[in-house]
Structure 1
Amino acid sequence: MLSKWRQWRAERFDARHPFPQEEWLRACERLPLLAALDHDERQRLGQRTWRLLHRKRLTLPEGLDFDLPDRFSLLAQAGLLTLGWSEADAEGAFAGVHEIIVLPEAFRRQVEEMDEAGVMHEYVDERVGETWHQGPVVLSLADVRDSGDWTGFNVIIHELAHKLDMENSLDADGFPSISSDIDSREWYQTFMAVWNDLQAHLERGEPTPIDDYAATHPGECFAVCCEHFFTAPDVLNEAYPALYALLRRYFRQNPLARFKACQTA
């Protein structure tokens, strides 16, 4: 009964809001991540992104020239995270995303943090993105513009990965809701192996295989690994093949195949 209701709702939406195919294709042409999708993936993501654009509030800097392909590009990178999931699971995953706020540039936050000795430290932190449980996702426009390629950086995927992480808790802890075919012990052991390896590299004064921001907190480890999974899958797979394989099962996607196809095209 529920599936019929979803189908009726989707058909009603499509009738009221015809899909702008030309603008969607322009968005795909602008971003390597979208251009790498096959025809079926691209069309499915386009339809889902079109619905996201109508369900979520997108707040932009006043006077910004941000056309429909730009809006498509931003929300599609969020939707890329759930592209391999069913319509119901994809919709539920972003139920806690009500608003995405784009600021003109990086912003500063006053941070209070207690160290292992119990001493409270206060400092000003500059951020390019921020996410709250049941709150907005905040992104820097400059960093949104820098997202969408195969460089391993994507502020949109990073912050929306936090939202997936927060789906089953009040904070990002690196342990999102997982499907029944993934054992929670496997998830923990795989990520702990990555975490320990990152810490070991830092203790030896060596460069980390992926962005060292992943070593600051388990929630950031998950978000950074999601960034690399979608935008530098070759780097992640070479450094941590077990983690890449786990995320491939979690997201039900294989970005490495897309990346390799782009390299040989």
Structure 2
Amino acid sequence: MKIFSLVIVLIILFILVGVFVKRRSIKIRRIKKEFSVSNEKSIMESIFHKNFLFFEHLNNTFKEKLLTDSYVLSKLINIDGVGIQITDEIKYTIFGLVGLLILGDENPDYFPNLTSVVVYPKMYISDQRGQNKSVNLGESWNFGVVVLSWCDVINGTQNFSDGHNVALHEFAHQLDQQSGQADGIPVNLNNDYYTWKNTFDKEYNNLLREMENAEHDSIDFYGATNKAEFFAVCTETFFEKSAVMKSEHPELYDLLVRYYRIDPMKIFSN
């Protein structure tokens, strides 16, 4: 009887998930259609040209996709300010950086677990329940919330070559957390799971060794904190210091090319 009840529950959950996915897909198609006839595109282009130094290097296909995906994300995910008013510049800059992470995905799921982005004007004191208070630039919470300091987001966009970008970092954590836990193994690895784990374990241990020996690396040593931070820091390095990363870590770089389905060295140099 217990097994039968469990089967019924699983069937109901499966149906509910299917309904949610279908409704979300319909909503995304509606948003894309809405964007095609809205005047938001010109507003977004102006903001992207101002804040994204890489935008002018993208070809027209990638420009259009980044604009569309960013708009979709802005309609699917709530964004609220604490001590700061959310303007078009703040909204589209943040979702533009999120869109960069799915730029190579022809059919992205648009971060289905991410429900809210909270923006502070600058560094803030975190008071997440169950944790000690600390001063932060950004956070990614397991229950679908990203918190960001706007000052540090915009600083990261103005210097897109130093390997530090708080928005890319925190939204990379969301990709990691979609799998259920932040362990450096993000969702949708498909057949790359074992290659990913072996390569990341090796590269992570190498970073630990380099830090202990006070050696230099293009990957910031904050990535040695744990494997979740390693993935987030590697994502920052991948997009912002692609040439150096490919030179120093070719195997890791190629793995990230396969995961993100784009090669920053190519798309940012057109």
TM class, shorter-length: 0.7 to 0.9
Report the residue type matching 2:169 in the other structure. H
In the alignment, the residues of structure 2 paired with residue 250 and residue 226 of structure 1 have an alpha-carbon distance, to the nearest angstrom, of 11
Name 1:12's counterpart in structure 2.
30
Question: Measured at CA, do residues 237 and 146 of structure 1 come closer, stay the same or move farther in structure 2, by a change above 3 Å?
Answer: same
Matched position secondary structure for 1:137? strand
Q: Deviations over 1:70-116 (max 9, x none)?
A: 421210101111111133x332xx111111011122123479xxxxx
Residues 217 and 10 from structure 1, CA distance in 2 versus in 1: closer, same or farther, beyond 3 angstroms?
Answer: closer
Corresponding position: 1:172 with 2:190: no
AA matched with 1:250: Y
Q: Aligned ranges for residues 212-223 of structure 1 at < 5 Å?
A: 212-223=221-232
Q: Are the structure 2 counterparts of residues 173 and 78 from structure 1 closer, same or farther at C-alpha, using a change threshold of 3 Å?
A: same
Once superposed, what is the RMSD of the aligned Cα atoms? Answer: 2.8
Aligned-partner SS, 1:50: helix
Deviation at 1:5, TM superposition (A): 7.9
Q: Classify the secondary structure of the residue corresponding to 1:168.
A: coil
Instruction: Tell me the TM-score normalised to structure 1 length.
Output: 0.83
Instruction: Look up the match of 1:236.
Output: 245
User: Does 2:67 match 1:58?
Assistant: no
- 1:115 matched residue in structure 2: none
What's the TM-score once normalised by structure 2's chain length? 0.81
Out of 201, 211, 232, the residue aligned to residue 210 of structure 2 is 201
Measure the CA separation in 2 of the matches of 1:138 and 1:254. Answer: 28
Of the candidates 49, 55, 68, which is equivalent to residue 70 of structure 2? 49
In structure 2, the CA distance between the partners of 1:172 and 1:151, relative to structure 1 (3 Å rule), is: same
Give SS of 2:156's match: coil
| Higher mean C-alpha deviation, range 207-216 or range 159-168 | 207-216
Whether contact under 8 Å (2:90, 2:150) holds in the other structure is: no
Question: Unaligned 5+ residue runs, structure 1?
Answer: 112-121
AA at the equivalent of 2:155: D
Aligned equivalents of 1:164, 1:8: Cα separation in 2: 23
Percent of paired sites with the same residue: 28
**Does residue 151 of structure 1 match 2:172?**
no
Conserved? CA contact 1:83–1:90, under 8 Å: no
Letter matched to residue 180 of structure 1: N
* Mapping for residues 1-265 of structure 1, pairs under 5 Å: 9-10=27-28, 12-14=30-32, 16=34, 18-19=37-38, 20-30=40-50, 31-62=52-83, 64=85, 66-87=86-107, 89-91=108-110, 94-109=111-126, 125-148=134-157, 149-169=160-180, 171-182=181-192, 184-261=193-270
Report the Cα distance in structure 2 between the residues aligned to 1:193 and 1:137, rounded to whole angstroms: 29
CA distance in structure 2 between the partners assigned to 1:54 and 1:110 by the alignment: 27
Q: Check the 8 A contact 1:32/1:150 in 2, yes or no.
A: no
* CA pair 185-236 structure 1, distance change in 2 beyond 3 A: same
- Evaluate the alpha carbon distance shift between residue 59 and residue 202 of structure 1 in structure 2; reply closer, same or farther with a 3 A threshold: same
Which amino acid counterpart does residue 177 of structure 1 have in structure 2? V
Distance change >3 Å, CA 15–CA 109, structure 1 → 2: closer
Question: Are the counterparts in 2 of residues 57 and 99 from structure 1 also a CA contact under 8 Å?
Answer: yes
The CA deviation string for residues 211-252 of structure 1, in whole angstroms up to 9 with x for no partner, is 100011100000000111111111211221100000000110
Give the SS at the match of 2:118: strand
Query: How far did 1:206 drift?
Result: 2.2
Instruction: Report Cα offsets for 1:21-42 as digits up to 9, x if no partner.
Output: 2112112212113333211111
Letter of the 1:52 counterpart:
L
CA–CA distance in 2 between the matches of 1:41 and 1:259? 10
Mapped to 2, the partners of 1:90 and 1:80 lie a distance apart of: 14
CA separation of 1:175/1:15 partners in 2, compared to 1, >3 Å: closer, same or farther?
closer
Q: Would you say how many aligned residue pairs link Structure 1 and Structure 2?
A: 246
How far, CA to CA, are the matches of 2:195 and 2:30 in structure 1?
Answer: 42
Runs of at least 5 residues in structure 2 that lack an aligned partner in the other structure: 1-18
Q: Is the 8 A contact 2:207 2:224 kept in 1?
A: yes
